[in-house]
Amino acid sequence: MNVSVVLFTSDLRLHDHPPLRAALDGSRTVVPLFVRDRAVDRAGFAAPNRLAFLADCLRDLDAGLRERGGRLVYRSGDLVDEVCKVVTETDADEVHMAGGVSAHAHRREERLRAALEGDGRRLHVHDEVVTALAPGAVTPASSDHFAVFTPYFRHWDRHHQRQVLGVPRVVRVPEDIGSERLPTRGELSGLSAGLATGGEREGRKLLTAWLRSGIHAYVDGHDDLAGDATSRLSPHLHFGTVSAVEVAHRARKAGGPGADAFVRQLAWRDFHHQVLAARPAASRKDLRTRNDLWRSPDAAAQEIEDWKEGRTGYPVVDAAMRQLRHEGWMHNRGRLLTASFLAKTLYVDWRVGAEHFLSLLVDGDIANNQLNWQWVAGTGTDSRPNRVLNPVVQGKRYDPEGAYVRRWVPELEGLGGAAVHEPWKLKGPERAAYDYPEPIVDLSEALARFKHARGRD
Ligand SMILES: Cc1cc2nc3c(=O)[nH]c(=O)nc-3n(C[C@H](O)[C@H](O)[C@H](O)COP(=O)(O)OP(=O)(O)OC[C@H]3O[C@@H](n4cnc5c(N)ncnc54)[C@H](O)[C@@H]3O)c2cc1C
Q: How far apart are CA 5 and CA 387, in angstroms?
A: 49
Strand 94-98 to strand 29-37: parallel, antiparallel, or no bridges (unpaired)? Answer: unpaired
Q: Whose CA is nearest to atom 22 of ligand 1?
A: 234
How many whole angstroms separate alpha carbon 445 and alpha carbon 431?
A: 23
Tell how far the Cα of 143 is from the centroid of ligand 1, in angstroms.
26
Which atom of ligand 1 has the smallest separation from the CA of 222?
Answer: 29
Residue 132 near residue 264 (C-beta atoms within 8 A)? no
Q: CATH 1.25.40.80 spans which residues of the chain?
A: 131-163+200-278
Q: Is the CB of 215 under 6 A from ligand 1?
A: no
pLDDT at residue 26 is higher than 80: no
How many Å lie between the centroid of ligand 1 and the Cα of residue 364?
A: 9
| Size of the chain, expressed as the number of residues it contains | 457
Dump pLDDT digits (tens) for 79-126: 999 999 999 999 999 999 999 988 889 999 999 999 999 999 999 999
Question: In terms of pLDDT, which residue wins out, 41 or 62?
Answer: 62
Q: Are 287 and 381 in contact (CB under 8 A)?
A: yes
Ligand 1 centroid to residue 187 C-alpha, Å: 28
Ranges of CATH 1.10.579.10 domains, the chain: 301-453
Nearest CA-CA partner of 315 in 289, 338, 288, 297: 338
Which residue type sits at 110?
E
Angle between helix 200-209 and helix 48-67 axes, rounded to 10 deg: 90
Rounded mean pLDDT of 392-396?
Answer: 98
Which residues make Cβ contacts (< 8 Å) with residue 146, sequence separation at least 6? 138, 139, 140, 152, 155, 271, 274, 275
Residue 361 beta carbon below 6 angstroms from any ligand 1 atom: yes
- Distance, in Å, from the CA atom of 436 to the CA atom of 425, rounded to the nearest integer, reads 13
Q: How far apart are CA 156 and CA 158, in angstroms?
A: 6
Determine the residue type at 125.
V
264 vs 153: CA distance, rounded Å: 7
Query: Would the CB of 359 count as within 6 Å of ligand 1?
Result: no
pLDDT at 44 over 90: no
Q: Is the CB of 270 under 6 A from ligand 1?
A: no
**Is pLDDT of 1 > 70?**
no
Contact residues for 78 (Cβ-Cβ < 8 A; gap 6+):
37, 38, 39
3-127: CATH topology:
Rossmann fold (3.40.50)
Q: Where do the CATH 3.40.50.620 domains begin and end in the chain? A: 3-127
Burial (Cβ within 10 Å: 0-12, 13-18, ≥19) of residue 59: middle
Q: Ligand 1 pocket check: which of 10, 207, 368, 381 to mutate, most ligand atoms within 8 Å of Cβ?
A: 368
Superfamily (CATH H level) for 301-453: DNA Cyclobutane Dipyrimidine Photolyase, subunit A, domain 3 (1.10.579.10)
Mean pLDDT of the chain: 96
User: Does 230 sit in the ligand 1 pocket, CB within 6 Å?
Assistant: yes
Measured over the CA atoms of residue 276, residue 278, residue 280 and residue 283, the dihedral's sign is: negative
Is 431 annotated in some ligand binding site?
no
Half-sphere exposure of 8 (CA within 13 A, CB side): 29
Strands of the 29-37 sheet, one edge to the other? 73-77, 29-37, 3-8, 94-98, 122-126
How remote is the CA of residue 1 from the centroid of ligand 1, in Å? 44
Beta bridge partners of 74: 34
Burial class (CB in 10 A: 0-12, 13-18, 19+), 438: exposed
Collapse the DSSP code of 392 into the 3-class scheme (helix H, G, I; strand E, B; otherwise coil) and give the result.
Answer: helix
The answer to whether residues 13 and 241 touch, using CB atoms and an 8 Å cutoff, is: yes
Which band of pLDDT confidence, cut at 50, 70 and 90, is reported for residue 18? very high
Distance 236 CA to ligand 1 centre (A): 11
Return d(Cα 293, Cα 284) in angstroms, integer.
16
**What are the tens digits of pLDDT across the range 315-334?**
999 999 999 999 999 999 99
Architecture of domain 131-163+200-278 in CATH? Alpha Horseshoe (1.25)
* pLDDT per position as a tens digit, 430-442: 999 999 999 999 9
Alpha carbons within 13 angstroms on the beta-carbon side of residue 296 total 2
Cα–Cα distance measured from residue 241 to residue 16, given in angstroms and rounded to the nearest whole number? 10
Question: What is the biggest distance separating any 2 CA atoms in the chain, rounded to whole angstroms?
Answer: 82
